[in-house]
Structure 1
Amino acid sequence: MQSQMGFQPTILLLKEGTEESQGRSQILSNINACVALVDTVKTTLGPRGMDKMVIKGKDQVTISNDGATVMKLLDIVHPAAKSLVDISLSQDAEVGDGTTSVVVLAGELLKQAKPFVEDGLHTQNIIKGYQKACQLAKKHLTDIQVDVSNKSEEEKRQLLEKCAATALNSKLVSSHRDFFAKMVVDAVFHLDDDLTLNLIGIKKENGGSLGDSYLVDGVAFKKTFSYAGFEQQPKKFVNPKIIALNIELELKSEKENAEIRIENPEQYQSIVDAEWTIIYDKLDRIVQSGANIVLSRLAIGDLATQYFADRNIFCAGRVTDDDLRRVCKATGAQVQTTVSNVIPSVLGSCGLFEERQVGGARYNFFLEAEHSKTATILLRGGGEHFVDEAERSIHDAIMITRRAKKHHSIVAGGGAVEMEVSKYLREHARGISGKQQMIINAFAKALEIIPRQLADNAGLDSTDILNKLRQRHAQGNGKWFGVDIVNDGICDTFETFVWEPTLVRLNCFEAATEATCLILSVDETVRNAQSEAPQAGPQMGRGGRGGLPRGMAGRGVRAMRGR
């Protein structure tokens, strides 16, 4: 009857209780969620950025202004806003700095796109324009970068110190940035050409001040858990031989369900003797190898500890994997999984080993190693939260220094790059007709959020600062002019040594654009209800009797499934 009158039944494809939203309102909802998240973290940007206190659980408190750390700790539920967390973490993993900048820029790109969406412009046009603007921005950035590959070694070292100091300028340890910048550069110069990050150890010890921190030319780690007999072992060696093991050196109790059938007491005694014979055989082979220091990833029990103490050998069990890897890299030792036929070439060596007191703990130091391709930074500070934030700051500076050493090109910071690229995009847009001109202009305007936010966070008049910067960059002789936090104005940030690797800005532009395009391309969200017991019989359509069973669709009908 219905088909004769021209009515079509409504086909229900999704489970009852499924939430579904689509169209322009969905895109605007995603934009609003991302902008709300950006408003939370944008005040951490720059040298005068504020810190965030994030409390998880009862006692886990983190105080930080590192964008990636804050974004990771926030329990974000909105699925679109989670993409901003992803780009922040990717920026941290790839470059190490600029984690707040990439989130702030992505949020501003979305904010600039919002009026176009409200006016009915298709988001694919916006995505196309943003991608084109990003390519132009990256190209212009590589054109204006300063190549330092032809500098002398001393000039390169000074350059790296300036880049590290710029990374530390916005951190809690900014008052000691020159002190830590030199330390970070020295640590990076200890590494191989592959610049493996894990070979720089950062150890934290509460007490003292930041100025008491120092760089260890070698490896240092906190004394591991020890048994009786440890205090009888020597704590200092000159030119020792080091053996690194992945073996457990202690007597293990039998499993609870183990069953052994014996006929007389002598057989039981032979089983006990065999266990002791096995452990003593291992210890004898280690002693015969000539090693003075025994390190193992696994436990070294009280029997082995006393055995080594009687023979003037130092041992440490349960050494963390990172620390053992650094010791092997520095001393040339190779980790052994057996003590059978230990040859001299697998043993490591260093000029000096000793145990020292650092604050309230004792540390083992491996110094003057011939193969030393690693370093350790011992951080001191007044409180636990302060030292934790100092560690995150040093990590960012190390990442920046590694990238600058590998890629040999820098640009000026302080918003100077963003203002210069913004000017270039505005000039380029004048030669384009149609909608793309407006979108590229919107991208150019979004770039100005970096200097604007730097000025706002410093308590300056951001409108006045931006007008001065636009004027300077438009004149053509001030491409490196950015926000001057010290004198509350603008200055040539290249002359004031506010430098950063080009890779930081390139990755920032690209990651922010990709995240923005991803969010703008989502026009529908389907949220499934909690799984329920299936109901008997087919699920009928809302409009008549001809509905399809749940989960089935006829030809030409699009089935949707959310997770």
Structure 2
Amino acid sequence: MSFGGQTPTIIVLKEGTDASQGKGQIISNIQACLAVQDTIRSTLGPYGGDLLLVDENGKQTITNDGATVMKLLDIVHPAAKILTDIARSQDAEVGDGTTSVVVLAGEVLKELKDHVEQGVSAQTIIKGLRRAGAMAVNKIEEIAVTTDGGKQRETLRRLAATAMSSKLIHRNADFFTKMVVDAVLSLDQDDLSEKLIGIKKITGGALQDSLFVNGVAFKKTFSYAGFEQQPKIFKDPKIVCLNVELELKSEKDNAEVRVDQVSEYQAIVDAEWQIIYNKMEALHATGAKVVLSKLPIGDLATQYFADRDIFCAGRVASEDLERVVQACGGSISSTCSNIQDNHLGTCERFEERQIGGERFNFFEGCPQAKTCTLVLRGGAEQFIAEVERSLHDAIMIVKRAIRNRNIVAGGGACEMEISAHLHRYADLDPSIPRKQQSIIKSFAKALEIIPRQLCDNAGFDATNILTQLRVEHRKGNVWAGVDFDNEGVRDNMAAFVWEPSLVKVNAIRAAVEAGCLVVSVDETISECQFSLCVP
């Protein structure tokens, strides 16, 4: 057979390779994404439930944090993994709204499924979707309110409270919002690295026993004999931070030393002892009362420091030592010789004290504290772990709000306003092609999943409340949202249900990208191994 004089190229797939393509493939991918959405949608909002996830090793995790759920779900379907990626990107970029972005992306795909089944071109769908997404982002930027810089702390507490409203700790929101805002404001405002907020978890006690330390606290490290003789409280101590091992150890690398007389062997032993004594004497000469090191501090050094009323701790975690330097000043030295005063840190008070069943070292009243520590208490490990995840979301929200002061109302108000705007735009703008009009309207309808799901999870009549919301937004009430206190509709901006506009913008952009990506894939080859045969 001739093909215009050219020899045809035949792609022969490896035996057993699964190849699917066409409209059926797109619908299959959408169905897989909807299965993921169904798993997570019940956790949305202040009345959302939690998921109990058990891994193959029997480890239990109780959470309603979208990023954590998506990470722990063992999703095999390649298209459904896209939802995991957008949840992770939302968590990295904003820190909150991870459940919302997965629910929204799933609903967008559900609405697009009808267009795919009707034979609308994938490129037409993608163009309409991108146009709708751009219009939605523009509308958010248009309606967003810039907060008053003079009431920054109060605004940040409101935003943190909204982020906590769907978490286990929402009953203690007043207690934790103050802790979160204090933690973020204690950081260097130019950097705002959340890694400098240390979070330590101690089982036992109540949530209100949690502590905010304007400095550094870490668990007592492994200690040798003589440690209990050391003082545990200092006022205005000098602190030296080391990356030096203060321990007698046998020679490394299989070193071999040949000696002819016992006196020569004794000279080697004496030299080894003299080396460590010189190090300890040099540290004592600095006047430091607290010696910290990343590497071990052995029993000889521990007893030496105890005899001279010096506290020491070896094997301090690298991140804890970095935070001590950030808070107390000084620097980490890799040698014990030639340590100057500017290499030493200080704080108003150092103390080792008991918290629950653990002993902790506290560095408080630090002169340049650009770091802090949150000590969390609670009855069960899983509960404290979820508290930590909840605080992470609130910390990220406060951090973003400091840099971006634009806010919108939550509780579905923002989504309903954008939905109403897109419906009006699609009907009235003659420049939009007819096929794209239906795509934009489908996207507008998909946005209503947020207030609808909030109502469903709270046990409200979703149909009735959504009807009221549509009427209010048609009247021009921009911030009309779900009223969780009275099962109705209210002005959520006046009710202080606030969210940074960045959360909504990022969620819409991620959902649009996920929708475009899934719709554009019309063929899957499960094993990317093939050979070319030219007859």
Q: TM-score range by the shorter chain?
A: over 0.9
* 8 Å Cα contact 2:87-2:101 kept in structure 1: yes
Checking the alignment, whether the CA contact within 8 Å between 2:210 and 2:377 is kept in structure 1 is: yes
Map 1:27-106 to 2 at 5 A: 27-106=26-105
Counterpart check, 1:417 vs 2:414: yes
The alignment status of 1:113 with 2:137, answered yes or no, reads: no
Report SS of the residue matched to 1:437.
helix
Which deviates further from its counterpart, 45-54 or 335-344? 335-344
What is the CA distance between 1:256 and its match in structure 2? Answer: 7.2
Residues 1:120 and 1:462: Cα distance change in structure 2 (over 3 Å): same
Q: 2:7, 2:534 within 8 Å by CA — same for their partners in 1?
A: no
CA deviation digits over 1:453-503, x for unaligned, max 9? 000000111111111100100111x11111111211111111111001111
Pairs within 5 Å for 1:290-329: 290-329=287-326
Query: How much has 1:143 moved relative to structure 2?
Result: 0.6
Question: Residue 123 of structure 2 aligns with which residue?
Answer: 124
Partner of 1:151: 149
Tell me the equivalent position of 1:221. Answer: 218
Q: 8 Å contact 2:412–2:450 — kept in the other structure?
A: yes
State the SS of the aligned residue for 1:491. Answer: strand
Write the letter of the residue equivalent to 1:552. L
Single out whichever of 321-330 and 169-178 deviates more from structure 2. 321-330
Structure 2 residue aligned with 1:161: 157
Shift of 1:260: 2.6
Superposed, which structure 2 residues align to 1:88-487 within 5 Å? 88-148=87-147, 150-152=148-150, 155-193=151-189, 194-255=191-252, 257-430=254-427, 431=429, 432-476=432-476, 478-487=477-486
The CA distance in 2 between the partners of 1:517 and 1:136, in whole Å, is 16
Amino acid at match of 1:407: N
Contact 1:238 1:351 (8 Å CA) reproduced: yes
TM-score after normalising by structure 2: 0.96
How far apart in 2 are the matches of 1:223 and 1:57? Answer: 33
Structure 1 residues 352 and 117, CA gap change in structure 2 (3 angstroms): same
Distance in 1, matches of 2:408 and 2:393, equals: 17
The 3 A distance-change label for structure 1 pair 18 and 307 is same
Secondary structure at the residue paired with 1:551? Answer: strand
Work out whether residues 67 and 88 of structure 1, in 8 Å CA contact, stay in contact via their aligned partners in 2: yes
> How much has 1:7 moved relative to structure 2?
13
**1:169-215 CA distances to partner (integer Å, 9 max, x unpaired)?**
10000100111111111111111112111111111111111111121
Please state how far the C-alpha of 1:12 moved relative to its aligned partner: 3.8
Does the Cα contact within 8 Å between 2:11 and 2:532 map onto a contact in 1?
A: no
Aligned residue-pair number: 531
C-alpha separation between the residues in 2 aligned to 1:360 and 1:129?
59
* Amino acid corresponding to residue 483 of structure 1 in structure 2: V
1:471–1:344 Cα change, 3 Å:
same
The answer as to whether partners of 2:331 and 2:344 remain within 8 angstroms in 1 is yes
- Distance in structure 2 (CA, Å) of the matches to 1:250 and 1:470: 72
Q: Deviations over 1:262-291 (max 9, x none)?
A: 333333222222222222221111111111
Kept in 1, the 8 Å contact 2:9–2:533? The answer is no
SS of aligned partner of 1:13 = strand
**Counterparts of 2:21 and 2:506, CA distance in 1:** 31
1:327/1:333 contact within 8 Å kept: no
Aligned partner of 2:24: which letter?
S
Corresponding letter in the other structure for 1:159: T
- What stretches of structure 1 of length at least 5 have no aligned partner? 532-549, 556-563
State how far apart, in whole Å, the 1-side matches of 2:519 and 2:282 are.
66
Is the CA contact 1:414–1:493 (under 8 Å) kept in the aligned structure 2? yes
Q: Find the aligned partners of 2:524 and 2:373 in 1 and give their Cα distance.
A: 48
- Computed over aligned residues only, the root mean square deviation of the Cα atoms, in angstroms, reads 1.9
* Structure 2: gaps (5+ residues): none
* 1:9/1:334 CA distance change after superposition, 3 Å: closer
CA distance in 2, matches of 1:209, 1:17: 57
Match of 2:319, SS state, is: helix
Q: Helix, strand or coil: the match of 2:350?
A: strand
**Structure 1 partner of 2:15:** 16
Question: What is the SS of the residue equivalent to 1:219?
Answer: strand
Q: How many percent identity over aligned positions? A: 58
The one-letter code sitting in structure 2 at the alignment partner of 1:439 is I
